[in-house]
Amino acid sequence: MATSTAASSLSLLFSHPHSRQPSVRGPAAGSHLRLPPRASPSRPRCASSDTTATKHRRPAEENIREEAARLRGPAQGFSAWYEPFPPAPGGDPDERYSLDEVVYRSSSGGLLDVRHDMEALARYPGSYWRDLFDSRVGRTAWPYGSGVWSKKEFVLPEIDSDHIVSLFEGNSNLFWAERLGREHLGGMNDLWVKHCGISHTGSFKDLGMTVLVSQVNRLRRAPLSRPINGVGCASTGDTSAALSAYCAAAGIPAIVFLPADRISLQQLIQPIANGATVLSLDTDFDGCMRLIREVTAELPIYLANSLNSLRLEGQKTAAIEILQQFNWQVPDWVIVPGGNLGNIYAFYKGFEMCRVLGLVDRVPRLVCAQAANANPLYRYYKSGWTEFQPQVAETTYASAIQIGDPVSVDRAVVALKATNGIVEEATEEELMDATSLADRTGMFACPHTGVALAALFKLRDQRIIGPNDRTVVVSTAHGLKFTQSKIDYHDKNVKDMVCQYANPPISVKADFGSVMDVLQKNLNGKI
């Protein structure tokens, strides 16, 4: 009979370049969200509810932004501002800044955080906010059809809808990972993957960038008319893609600093295609970050990295969206890949805000998952939070979290301590094997999702996460952005890696007998 051989290279196809542990109930340790006693609330409608209640089609000559302006109701008195994070010992307890100021650090040089007028928000019961947010899901009423701006009152309550720059981001799929949980994770029956990468530019960064670019748009326009000539960022790929797309939509120049030869071609082409000024620098992400901070200190360019806490206000809506998708029931665990570490804090902030305002009664336990080649938070956690030591990150397939000196480490520590959280790591082989297993059950995961999945495998093996725990793994980017990692793995072209789940194509002669031999061999005689 004719024989066939396994292809040695994917160039055949690619020829071009807990026992259940309880969630955290009651006031989270260190929570910065505090409420006064709640008065008996009246139930007035927010201005936005009028836009979703109408059943009449808008006039043909009117677009959805103009319709929103026409239907705008009175201001509801909600507000937000910047405060130091954490408050500096001996610092000014009244230090705060308007969101309309261009400021990135406190007077002591620390981070800032966006704080909301929780007393004003608490005038409405949790049931009101649940109903309001649910009423906006999937609509086209501007800007509430966005998964971010459907929670506008919790994000940027004072921004005019006409200043918002939205690509209808968010509302991403919550995928029931039935087969992965059942067959590979000891019978987990409540395992979910939050596909934040199913978004306009293919990553969760859209959630934060819509907020930041909207605020820049507000600052540039009358009556504020701030002299901001562009928006800049350092990036490992996904931030630059999101910034470039939203700036292109708003007509604002974007400037991107990228580490040369350290991001995927798919990530690189996005800011180029969107018209950004792209600088490829012979350094790593941390070097790019130092340079962009120096440049934005000298030029009228607005800094878009997660040092800027505005982005976290958008990213926290993914946590609120998870609660919505579970009909406002709280999962037991949420596992988030961690690089610059703003996202783990954003998830905590979203969950905690909902708890404080009565939308839910507890928060989940959080897990931050890091690549072993870029794991400063994991080392800090293992030291008992005694000493944080930045590192020079080594190369990892999870390139978007290849960061050795994360800006938001203090934010991450607050989130993890408040939720009795855990930090876990994944080697290159562990993250790629986890990615491949997930793909074999119907996903198409990015390497960063592989890091989070590998952490889940370890926590299941340690029996920290139980088979019946409702667990959400956050997938931060679309797998199509990282196809080279999959090509290398299935080609078994990774040094010192077994690639045990590799599935290379098979080279077969173009005749019936050869094809039948291969099918019978590979399908174990089932045909």
d(CA 369, CA 291): 27
In this prediction, residue 88 carries a pLDDT of 77
Indicate if the pLDDT at residue 161 is higher than 70. yes
Closest among 248, 308, 297, 384 to 97, alpha carbons compared = 308
The sign one gets for the Cα dihedral 418, 134, 197, 188 is: positive
d(CA 256, CA 248): 13
In this prediction, residue 89 carries a pLDDT of 81
In this prediction, residue 30 carries a pLDDT of 54
Provide the pLDDT confidence category of residue 28 given band limits of 50, 70 and 90. Answer: low
pLDDT tens digits, one per residue of 427-484: 999 999 999 999 999 999 999 999 999 999 999 999 999 999 999 999 999 999 999 9
Which residue blocks in 29-168 are alpha helix, DSSP H? 49-53, 64-70, 118-121, 126-136, 152-155
In this prediction, residue 35 carries a pLDDT of 64
Average pLDDT (43-54) is 50
Q: Summarize the chain as % helix, strand, coil (round to 5).
A: 40, 15, 45
d(CA 226, CA 99): 13
d(CA 478, CA 267): 11
Indicate if the pLDDT at residue 56 is higher than 70. yes
Comparison of pLDDT for 2 and 373, the residue scoring more: 373
In this prediction, residue 9 carries a pLDDT of 45
Average pLDDT (69-94) is 88
How is 336-400 classified by DSSP, letter by letter? EE-SSSHHHHHHHHHHHHHHHTTS-SEE-EEEEEEEGGG-HHHHHHHTTSS------PPP-S-GG
Indicate if the pLDDT at residue 309 is higher than 70. yes
Residues whose CB falls within 8 Å of the CB of residue 352, separated by 6 or more in sequence, listed in order: 28, 31, 33, 363, 418
Provide the pLDDT confidence category of residue 264 given band limits of 50, 70 and 90. Answer: confident
d(CA 348, CA 322): 12
Closest among 506, 525, 509, 513 to 7, alpha carbons compared = 506
Please compute, for residue 464, the number of CA atoms within 13 A of its CA located in the half-sphere on the CB side. 16
pLDDT tens digits, one per residue of 172-204: 999 999 999 999 999 999 999 999 999 999 999
Provide the pLDDT confidence category of residue 13 given band limits of 50, 70 and 90. Answer: very low
Closest among 509, 517, 289, 240 to 403, alpha carbons compared = 289
d(CA 425, CA 428): 10
CA distances from 131 to 53, 125, 126, 513 (A): 13, 10, 9, 63
Mean pLDDT in the chain? 89
Task: State percent of the chain over pLDDT 70.
Answer: 89
Provide the pLDDT confidence category of residue 11 given band limits of 50, 70 and 90. Answer: very low
What residue ranges define each of the domains in the chain, with the CATH number in brackets? Answer: 67-201+308-526 (3.40.50.1100)
In this prediction, residue 26 carries a pLDDT of 57
Provide the pLDDT confidence category of residue 34 given band limits of 50, 70 and 90. Answer: low
